[in-house]
A and B are shown apart, each in its own frame.
Chain A
Amino acid sequence: MAQAVTGTGVEAVSVPGRDRDAREINADIRRVLADGVRDIVVTDPGAKHNLGVGLLTPCRISFDGSLGYFGCALGDGIRAHVKGRVGWSLAENLMDGEVVVEGSSGSSTGAAVRGGTVVVRGNAGARTGISQKGGAIVVGGDSGLLTGFMLQKGRIVILGDVGRACGDSMYDGEIFVGGKIASLGTDAVPGELDELDAEWLSRTLDRYGLEAPGEWRKVVAGRQLYNYDQLEPMERKIAL
């Protein structure tokens, strides 16, 4: 079903999405990757769930519409571009690469991301960057409650406002907010924006053509929950 796209200046292959289920579309994507194609356009994705999942071959892939849940999840080294919107868990567990969404995304955007960059030009739902372990997530608009919940490593950038409990139970990492923060979560505290932060933010926003806000708020871990469960006195006496 895949067809070569001509006139683009780059040898790309088109994978049709209309009237086909995710399994067929993904199988086509894997097939053309195995054939050595590294530039893929998926037409009419139809907001189907699980499109572009588990791609571990570096490639450029463009979705000519919206995706459902888990779009571009479990990937490594991909450069994905989504022209529409995406449902829950965009780019979940991305290892490395870049996923850019022109519209908005649902909850759990960039859940457990380990590397690479996830960019949502519109708004994101709740729990953006939940259990994030590395890389960066950039949201051009607002993000919902529990943004950065249990964040472990990496950076989250929200240019708009953030909902309640921002950074709740975060272990480490940094959250940068350009708008208002409804409230901070448990063990999340305000941090000092330093020169390295400012430079990184400026470079990152420039790269994606996003406008910097007038002021930044930085959120970091208070680290008060690090050793809550210390050993009991009797256990400390255990002789080996």
Chain B
Amino acid sequence: MSKSGRMENRSSIWTQEVIEDIATKAEIGRYRMRGFNLFKRIPQFDDLTFLPATLTRFVIEGYREKCVTKTVLGSRLAERPLELEIPIYITGMSFGALSRNAKIALAKGATMAGTCTCSGEGGAIPEERQYSDKWIYQSIQSRYGFNPYHLREADMVEFFISQGCKPGAGGHLMGQKVSPEVAAMRDLPPAIDQRSPVRHPDWLGPDDLKIKAEEMREATDWKVPVQFKIGTARAYDDVRMAAKCGPDTILIDGMEGSTGAGPHILTEETGIPLMAGIAEARRALEDVGMFDEIDLVASGGIRNGADVAKCLALGAKAVAVGTAPLIAMGSVQDPDTGIEAWHTGRDPAGITTQDPELVARLDVDEAAQRVYNLLHAMTLELQMLARGCGKTDVHNLEPEDLAALTVEAGAMCHLPIAGTSWVPGQDPDTEARDQRLERIERELVMLRRAVESGGEPPEGAAVPGAGDDEVAP
């Protein structure tokens, strides 16, 4: 009702956006394509809050005391793990989706911050490797531009299995951005719409992936880590399977992640939030006893140091960012369409275009400085929150440092609602029983080890479950 008491002609179902969407599809006769990330509201990191140190925790001086950010990824099987100064790196974004200048600026900015970049799809441009002190090379379904010489220059190999923004679909690059140079690198005709396959050409399932990962290790002489990138969908099952395929690290990419181009309907309607993905991935690795062996990396919609800190607290060892550094470089929304002009090839900022005139607008060094500034600021924010929670190393953040502000967030992250001990979705009685059973299981393992080694059983382990009268059979 309006102030005058008149009924307003608005529906919450048939909104103006819905009506425009129908009209557009009626005109073009196909699904709609766009860049950027999802538009609808989902449970996300704003629904979590930190519980800083007070009387129950020792607080760390916010601006002075050391708080370690050094991050080592992939020390499980690789001879040369990836060592970064900060737990934030630039995620894979292709040359093609991004301009050459943008790729160089990201490389320079990341190197200034002591971290790495990732090639993304479409092959490597020499300048990106030249300016990236540390560099991840992606093995993606299309194998556009994939080159074993570039593989040998990598500090990590990433298997792109799916992306959070559109799990279940391959990459898209609109014909407007397939310049002759991009086309040549990808062995495609220029100016055609490029839609990458969603399946890898040479492996189909986990058993094959395990062998494929070993192929990459052979080709790199087992020197560099192997990472699997998985869009969050059935995160628990996917990560359990992935863990058996021999990676050093697993990257979980949430539905908040962006794309250079993709069907709007997939961006809106697929995947699960990153925070749920991390929690499920952690649970999966713990259940297969590999949480301490395989490092988790998180990406998708990470905006600031608080988001990074929340990822680390939930179980990630590092995060990868893409949209935030693009915005830092000057990516803007089109005033007419209200969306980023990423997929059209007409980005006025020269970041997501191949038009030489527009690309020239991006000052590489200035953009690199802004990327560095952002990464540095995010790191300072991360350290601030970690110190506040009493941590001298950002990797010591833990789920206990968090509380949920909504029931949904609590259920997804297995966290208590702020001000309560209630974890939505968990029955306290069942949980207490499970904890007792886990303790008995641990004690039995200790007892068996002690007996096998011929030593004395550890104290308290002689009678597993002693005192647990309430344990259900």
**Per-residue B-contact encoding for A187-214, CB less than 8 Å = 1, 0 else:** 0000000000000000000000000000
Lowest 8 CB-CB distances: which A-B pairs, in order?
A54-B219, A89-B202, A111-B201, A112-B143, A133-B187, A226-B192, A111-B202, A130-B201
**Per-residue A-contact encoding for B197-220, CB less than 8 Å = 1, 0 else:** 100011100001001101100111
State whether A232 touches B28 (Cβ < 8 A): yes
**Per-residue B-contact encoding for A27-48, CB less than 8 Å = 1, 0 else:** 1001000000000000000000
Contacts across chains A and B counted by CB atoms under 8 Å: 141
| A176 interface hit (Cβ, 8 Å) | no
Chain B residues with CB under 8 Å of A73's CB are: 202, 215, 219
| A216 interface hit (Cβ, 8 Å) | no
Number of A interface residues at 8 Å Cβ cutoff, please give it.
52
Comparing B225-233, B265-273, B333-341, B364-372, the segment that makes contact with chain A is B333-341
State whether A93 touches B146 (Cβ < 8 A): yes
CA A166 – CA B188 in complex, angstroms? 19
Chain A residues with CB under 8 Å of B337's CB are: 234-235, 238
Q: How far is the CB of A37 from chain B (nearest CB, A)?
A: 18
| B24 interface hit (Cβ, 8 Å) | yes
Within 8 A of A (CB), among B155-192: 172, 174-176, 186-189, 191-192
Given known A-B contacts A54-B148, A88-B208, A235-B344, A22 and B336 have beta carbons under 8 A apart: no
Contacts A89-B212, A238-B334 aside, 8 further interface pairs with beta carbons under 8 A come to: A50-B215, A56-B148, A68-B211, A69-B208, A70-B212, A111-B202, A130-B202, A231-B174
Chain A residues with CB under 8 Å of B192's CB are: 171, 226-227
> Interface residues of B: mostly helix, strand, loop or mixed?
loop
CA A125 – CA B109 in complex, angstroms? 47
**Per-residue A-contact encoding for B380-420, CB less than 8 Å = 1, 0 else:** 00000000000000000000000000000000000000000
Q: Which residue of A lies closest to B173 (CB)?
A: A229
State whether B218 touches A26 (Cβ < 8 A): yes
CA A171 – CA B28 in complex, angstroms? 23
State whether B211 touches A233 (Cβ < 8 A): no
Q: How far is the CB of B199 from chain A (nearest CB, A)?
A: 9
CA A137 – CA B297 in complex, angstroms? 39
State whether A238 touches B341 (Cβ < 8 A): yes
| B222 interface hit (Cβ, 8 Å) | yes
**Per-residue B-contact encoding for A88-100, CB less than 8 Å = 1, 0 else:** 1100110100000
- Give 11 CB contacts A-B under 8 Å: A26-B218, A54-B148, A56-B148, A92-B202, A93-B146, A150-B197, A227-B175, A227-B193, A228-B193, A229-B33, A229-B175
Within 8 A of A (CB), among B1-59: 24, 27-28, 30, 32-33
| A20 interface hit (Cβ, 8 Å) | no
| B358 interface hit (Cβ, 8 Å) | yes
Q: How far is the CB of B77 from chain A (nearest CB, A)?
A: 11
State whether B32 touches A89 (Cβ < 8 A): no
CA A70 – CA B201 in complex, angstroms? 12
Q: Which residue of A lies closest to B334 (CB)?
A: A238
**Per-residue B-contact encoding for A61-73, CB less than 8 Å = 1, 0 else:** 0000000111001
| A134 interface hit (Cβ, 8 Å) | yes
State whether A153 touches B187 (Cβ < 8 A): yes
State whether A108 touches B193 (Cβ < 8 A): no
Chain B residues with CB under 8 Å of A226's CB are: 175, 189, 192-193
State whether A127 touches B201 (Cβ < 8 A): yes
**Per-residue A-contact encoding for B457-473, CB less than 8 Å = 1, 0 else:** 00000000000000000
Within 8 A of A (CB), among B312-343: 334, 336-337, 341
Q: How far is the CB of A105 from chain B (nearest CB, A)?
A: 12
Within 8 A of B (CB), among A83-131: 88-89, 92-93, 95, 108, 111-112, 114, 127, 130-131
CA A14 – CA B42 in complex, angstroms? 61
| A158 interface hit (Cβ, 8 Å) | no
State whether B208 touches A54 (Cβ < 8 A): no
State whether A50 touches B334 (Cβ < 8 A): no
Q: Which residue of B lies closest to A221 (CB)?
A: B189
CA A231 – CA B27 in complex, angstroms? 12
Q: Which residues of A contact B (CB under 8 A)?
A: 22-23, 26-27, 30, 49-50, 53-54, 56, 68-70, 73-76, 88-89, 92-93, 95, 108, 111-112, 114, 127, 130-131, 133-134, 149-150, 152-153, 171-172, 225-235, 237-240
Given known A-B contacts A93-B143, A131-B142, A133-B187, A112 and B176 have beta carbons under 8 A apart: no
Chain B residues with CB under 8 Å of A112's CB are: 143, 146, 201-202
Chain B residues with CB under 8 Å of A54's CB are: 148, 151-152, 218-220
Q: How far is the CB of B355 from chain A (nearest CB, A)?
A: 9
Q: How far is the CB of B70 from chain A (nearest CB, A)?
A: 30
| B221 interface hit (Cβ, 8 Å) | yes
| B300 interface hit (Cβ, 8 Å) | no
Chain A residues with CB under 8 Å of B334's CB are: 238
Given known A-B contacts A50-B218, A111-B201, A238-B346, A70 and B211 have beta carbons under 8 A apart: yes
Cβ contact of B344, chosen from A56, A133, A171, A238, cutoff 8 A: A238
State whether B187 touches A134 (Cβ < 8 A): yes
State whether B336 touches A240 (Cβ < 8 A): no
CA A231 – CA B334 in complex, angstroms? 15
Chain A residues with CB under 8 Å of B172's CB are: 229
Chain A residues with CB under 8 Å of B175's CB are: 226-227, 229-230
Cβ contact of A240, chosen from B24, B33, B358, cutoff 8 A: B358
State whether A53 touches B142 (Cβ < 8 A): no
| B348 interface hit (Cβ, 8 Å) | yes
Chain A residues with CB under 8 Å of B63's CB are: none
Cβ contact of B219, chosen from A53, A69, A108, cutoff 8 A: A53
State whether A228 touches B30 (Cβ < 8 A): yes
Chain B residues with CB under 8 Å of A229's CB are: 30, 33, 172, 174-175, 193, 195, 261
Q: How far is the CB of B356 from chain A (nearest CB, A)?
A: 13
Chain A residues with CB under 8 Å of B336's CB are: 234, 237-239
State whether B222 touches A23 (Cβ < 8 A): yes
